[in-house]
A and B are shown apart, each in its own frame.
Chain A
Amino acid sequence: MTLLPELYMLLFSVFFLFLSVGKKRISLFTAARILALLGFFVTLACAGARGALFAGAYQVDFFSQVFKVLLSAGFTLVVFMFEKENEVENLPEFFMFLGFSTLGLMILVSSVELISIVVSLEISSFSLYAVVPLRKAQTRTQIEAAMKYLFFGAISTGIMLYGMGYLYGMAHSTYLPDIMAKLPQFLAQPLGVLAIILTMTAFFFKLSLFPLHFWAPDIYEGASDATTTFIATVPKIAAAALLIRLTMLASSAPAQMATVIIVLAAFSMTLGNLVGLVQKDVKRLLAYSGIAHAGYLMLGLLSFNREGNAAVVYYITVYLFMNLALFYVVMLLSRRGENVTINDLSGLARRSPLLALTLAVAAFSLAGIPPTGGFTGKFFLFVTAFKAGYLAIVIIAAVNTVISIFYYLNLVRISYSRESEELRPLSLAFHEKVLCCVFNIVIIYLGLMPFGLIDLFRDAM
């Protein structure tokens, strides 16, 4: 029971592994959707599972189960959103790799031991390295993106291992609780801070936080829409989970770590938003937006308490939905799998009002305008960081919100107020409409009714 979600994901992946070998062409989309949805319900059903496995290296607690539900929700939505056969080569493999990656991430959020963290992180990363080049046509860009992703990913893992080596040397244990118990006495030395920051590097990389952000724009641009959607959302949830795990285990708030986090957050959001201003390709723009959002996310980690962590989880939940919504618009716009530029959005409100509305809701949410979830999430982050006494970073984040509105609003502006020559209506299938509506409702629901969910997250921390 405790391992059921992971086992299910494993079976899911293996099932598609067999399909990829065989010649049979059963309806892959339907199969993937039904199985993914089933997986989501299985994960949901296992939310109450508790236990420690493998000599305490694997913790199944409320915390990990909440994240598994989020990961599974993200994965399921990506599977539902994706439907263009001409976008990705080798369809069964595509589902298989996404499944393995989600599996790795699920194991990651339960791991409290250095070796299992590395192993699960690599399970997830290697699947993604393989999935990036699966895009059809445009052979150059996606191969370039895949290579970059592989190299940067490998380097960041290397750095993490280097940091873990120091941690082991200091604490003589690979268990996170042991390490964190001994940490306070080491944090006075530069070595301790260095070790913990180096260990965090791999997760900063997944989150695309400055200075490990540079892979994001190229990979987003080069990978296919569906792959990008996955990379931009699901691994970030697990990365946030691990960062929270690390801060949760630190008994007190180490000032040096807070300083490092503040600097990284400030650079990340400022850089992300400023560079985002000049982007023409929507996916590239979203990459820079993701860099900025990684910065906002750090605000919640600063307080080193349950409230701050709950704010982070809330924000990453909102981020999952608003990002998926925007990517969905991009996916539906590029029926042939080509990259969408900002100018391709012109006249969208006329071509498909629902799609334009989804774009607007998602963009306003990313910018943090009420009554969307983006505002509420950001508000929680601001309050916790302010409460912990970090006013400066709150003001920097607030100013960044204003900067970011330029490019988010630009998306809305072009889709609503610019006319285009192409007025061919963009007809959506029924399930596509439903999915759009679901995104809109969830984003606004998360904005107006955060109670319940935020209390749940607080209990889980």
Chain B
Amino acid sequence: MLPYLTMNPFGFPILSTVIFLPLVGVFFILFLKDGNKIKTTAFVAGLLTLGVSLMLFFNFNAGTPQFQFGERLAWIPAYNINYVLGVDGISIMLIVLTAMISPLCVLCSWKAIEKRVKEFMICILLMETAMIGVFCALDFILFYVFWEAMLIPMYLLIAVWGGPNKDYASLKFFIYTLFGSVFLLVAIIALYLTNGTFSIPEAMFKGYSFTFQIWVFLAFAIAFAIKVPMFPFHTWLPAAHTEAPTAGSVLLASILLKMGTYGFLRFCLPIVPLASFYFAPFMIVLSIVAIIYGGFVCLSQTDMKKLIAYSSVAHMGFVTLGIFTFTIYGFIGAMLQMLNHGITTGALFLMVGIIYERTHSRQIYDNAGLGKFMPAYVGFFGLFAVSSFAFPGTNSFVGELYVLISTFARSRTAGFFAAVGAVVAAAYMLKLLKQIVWGREDKRDIKDLNVREFVYLTPLAIFVIWVGLFPAPFVRVMETTLVRLFMQLNKLSQ
């Protein structure tokens, strides 16, 4: 085996299993006709994947920064392309997050999707395969194939099951993302021609010339910044989020956006460190602009989904801010924020989906004053909203705290503005919460949560509180990897 890859302790290729289990589900669904059976199959496939991913999580050795559960097969020998999989502290949590969110997406679409159920479930499962694949791949081409393959089902999710403006939103999403990706491809080829291999770990810390690093960084940064999305590239996000069906929004917010920041951590920092140092001030400024701009735009929204979409821009700003402060707190904070945002914002989109099924409107005014007849709903909503602006005791608080500490350590001005952004977040989330709970007096006939909705909201709520009060298990998993990354970068920066 390779020096950076430790063997898989299981008797079977566990990473391939976790990637391709959803595809097995797709295979079964192809032969089913009945809607309920299709949904059940998709849900079971999702649950099995979650089970295997938990096996990964519990067998993960947090003491080593190496890639674990390694698998390696020759794929296209003519170009030295291999099928290499492995996970480390950065990717393991994202895989579990993906495996957890996907079955919830099936559950939340149980009633909401009436037409073309079969295709819908196939799209969700294909997404899951591609998303987990992205986090496992240790070969650039394998990574790129998963990264791009994801676009197709996501595009279909928006274009077929989306809202009234779906044409515009889906096209914008696809073209924006593809535009970034082609530069990623060019950068990958450039790295291949320098290294002679498409292996990701073998491309790290190679000491390329500064000019080369600058160009590669720019190509990477366009791709990842669009995916995150960072400030000037964010315009596809509100459109896509607003028009996508609930499950699509959840997948987009919880996992797709993480791929950009994952890319920064996995590629930009270790492969082109000097360029990352060079561009860090710009990235920090863009992150802070995203935080503050996102916050102010949220203040003026009347559409719940749009508000949450813009709040994503602000939250992801914290993640990129954490990454580009180059401290260990920054990295841990960024990773935690990635998870937290995945859980909280995903949950908020689920909440919007639930109320939309009842009132068929996403306008805040139409859904205001639910406190009296939907107590359970409002309870969950309150928890997630509070978590969204990083109230102490909830998950986001921990992550944001790490990021803010790191930012203040690096620059007080930056820290000040980031803190202002955090306050704005409280303003818009509380404003929304107040409207939803007490906004209207009149009586309406809206039913509270049903069992299915309880089932998919509860795990997310548990996570919110668990990470908020006791983040240690999660931090421990990622710490070793991040500390090593930090040490390596530190050595270079001196």
Q: Report how far A417 CA is from B163 CA in the complex, Å.
A: 11
Least Cβ–Cβ distance between A115 and chain B, in angstroms? 37
Taking the closest CB of chain B, its distance from the CB of A103, in whole angstroms, is 33
Stretch at the interface among B142-150, B255-263, B381-389, B435-443: B142-150
Partner of A413, one of B78, B116, B167, B193: B167
- CB within 8 Å of B: which A397-447 residues: 398-399, 401-402, 405-406, 409, 412-413, 416-417
Q: Are B190 and A386 in contact (CB under 8 A)?
A: yes
The answer, among B74, B116, B170, B185, for a CB contact under 8 Å with A379, is: B185
Which residues in chain A, 366-403, are within 8 Å of chain B measured between CB atoms? Answer: 369-371, 375, 379-380, 382-383, 386-387, 391, 394-395, 398-399, 401-402
Contact A369 B166 (CB under 8 A): no
Taking the complex as formed, is B218 at the interface, i.e. its CB lies under 8 A from any CB of chain A?
Answer: no
Q: How distant is the Cα of A353 from the Cα of B78 in the complex, in angstroms?
A: 37
**B193 and A451: CB pair below 8 A?**
no
Q: Min CB distance, A23 to chain B, in Å?
A: 48
Residues on B with beta carbons closer than 8 Å to the beta carbon of A448: 145
Closest-CB distance, A75 to chain B (whole angstroms): 28
Contacts of A375 in B (CB 8 A): 145, 148
**Interface residues in A, total, Cβ within 8 A:** 36
Q: Which residue of A lies closest to B76 (CB)?
A: A451
Which of B98-106, B154-162, B284-292, B408-416 contacts the other chain?
A: B154-162
- For A383, list chain B residues within 8 Å (CB): 79, 189, 192-193
**Does A458 have its Cβ within 8 Å of any Cβ on chain B?**
yes
B-facing mask of A344-378, CB < 8 A → 1, else 0?
00000100010000001000100001110001000
Q: Which of B170-198 contact A (CB under 8 A)?
A: 170-171, 174-175, 178-179, 182-183, 185-186, 189-190, 192-193
Instruction: Out of A353, A401, A451, name the residue touching B178 (CB < 8 Å).
Output: A401
Given the known interface contacts A386-B190, A386-B193, A416-B156, the answer about A398 and B78 at a Cβ–Cβ threshold of 8 Å is no
Interface: A169 (CB within 8 A): no
Whether B182 and A398, one on each chain, are in contact in the complex, defined by CB atoms closer than 8 angstroms, is: yes
Which of B77, B185, B192 is in CB contact (< 8 Å) with A451?
A: B77
> Are A409's CB and B148's CB within 8 A?
no
B160 to chain A, nearest CB (A): 5
Q: Is A89 an interface residue (CB 8 A)?
A: no
Cα distance A402–B185 when bound, in Å?
Answer: 12
- Which of A364, A382, A417 is within 8 Å of B152, CB to CB? A364
**B residues within 8 A CB of A310?**
78
A117 at the B interface (CB under 8 A): no
| A413 lies within 8 A of B159 (CB) | yes
Known A-B contacts A382-B186, A383-B192, A406-B175; the reply to A451 vs B160 at CB < 8 A is no
1/0 per position for A284-315, CB-CB distance to B under 8 A?
00000000000000000000000100100000
Most chain A CB within 10 A, of B160, B162, B170, B186, is at B186
Q: Which residues of A contact B152 (CB under 8 A)?
A: 360, 364, 369
Give the number of residues in B that approach A within 8 Å (Cβ atoms). Answer: 37
Distance from A392 Cβ to chain B, minimum over Cβ atoms (Å): 11
A417 contacts B166, C-beta separation under 8 Å: yes
Q: Which residue of B lies closest to A417 (CB)?
A: B159
- Name B430-449 residues within 8 Å CB distance of A: none
Are A455's CB and B178's CB within 8 A?
no
- Looking at the assembled complex, report how far the CB atom of A342 sits from the nearest CB atom of chain B, in whole angstroms: 13
Beyond A413-B167, A417-B166, is A395–B159 a contact (Cβ under 8 Å)?
no
The distance in angstroms between the C-alpha atoms of A53 and B402, with both chains bound, is 78
Contact of B174 with A371 in the complex, beta carbons under 8 Å = no
Given known contacts A364-B152, A379-B141, A405-B175, A394 and B189 CB-to-CB distance under 8 angstroms: yes
A353 CB contacts on chain B under 8 angstroms:
119
B151 at interface, CB cutoff 8 A: yes
Nearest A residue to B150 via CB reads A370
Residues of A within 8 Å of B141, CB to CB, are 379
Question: Which of B78, B149, B151 makes the CB contact (< 8 A) with A455?
Answer: B78
Q: Does A450 contact B (CB under 8 A)?
A: yes
Check B185 against A382 for contact (C-beta < 8 Å). yes
Residue of B nearest to A357 (CB): B119
Contacts A369-B148, A369-B151, A370-B144; A416 near B159 (Cβ below 8 A): yes
Which residue from chain A places its CB closest to the CB of B174 in the assembled complex? A409
- Are B145 and A371 in contact (CB-based, < 8 A)? yes
Q: A364-B152, A394-B189, A417-B166 are in contact. Are A450 and B182 (CB under 8 A)?
A: no
Beyond A349-B119, A370-B145, 19 extra complex contacts between A and B, CB < 8 Å: A307-B78, A353-B119, A360-B152, A369-B149, A370-B149, A379-B185, A386-B186, A386-B193, A391-B186, A394-B189, A398-B183, A399-B182, A402-B182, A405-B178, A412-B159, A413-B171, A448-B145, A451-B75, A454-B76
30 residue pairs of the A-B complex, CB under 8 angstroms, read A310-B78, A349-B119, A349-B160, A369-B148, A369-B152, A370-B144, A370-B149, A371-B145, A382-B185, A382-B186, A382-B189, A383-B192, A386-B190, A386-B193, A391-B186, A394-B186, A398-B182, A398-B183, A399-B182, A401-B182, A405-B178, A409-B155, A412-B159, A413-B159, A413-B171, A416-B159, A417-B159, A451-B76, A451-B77, A455-B77
**10 tightest CB-CB pairs across the interface, nearest first?**
A398-B182, A370-B145, A370-B148, A417-B159, A402-B179, A386-B189, A451-B76, A371-B149, A416-B160, A370-B149
